[in-house]
Amino acid sequence: MLVDIVQHESLAFQKQDLVCTKCGLVKAENMAAICSQCSSSFQCRQKASTLRESLEVFKKIAEVYSFEWLEEVTEGLLQ
């Protein structure tokens, strides 16, 4: 169950939309480097640091309760 949650969070981070830093428009064109509305750059909706913090919490849980599989999965994603 916990491994499923970790894998789901990782997949959600990888599949997230890119949004314009200025107007918030979701990037629609794959090759566009700048926003078509305001010519600003794009960024991920979720910061990588947020995912890293979540993975570190799950890793600590795995260490405390000796969940080897969960620890292996979180270590792999944190590398």
For 26-65, the pLDDT digits (tens) are: 999 989 999 999 999 999 999 999 999 999 999 999 999 9
Question: DSSP readout, 12-69?
Answer: HHHTPPEEETTT-PBP--TT-SS-TTT---EEESS-HHHHHHHHHHHHHHHHHHT-HH
Mean pLDDT for 13-23 is 96
Containing structural domain, residue 71:
2-78
> Average model confidence (pLDDT) for the chain?
96
Structure tokens at 64: 């405390």
Predicted structure pTM score: 0.84
- Matching residue, tokens 């919490």: 57
Tally of domains within the chain: 1
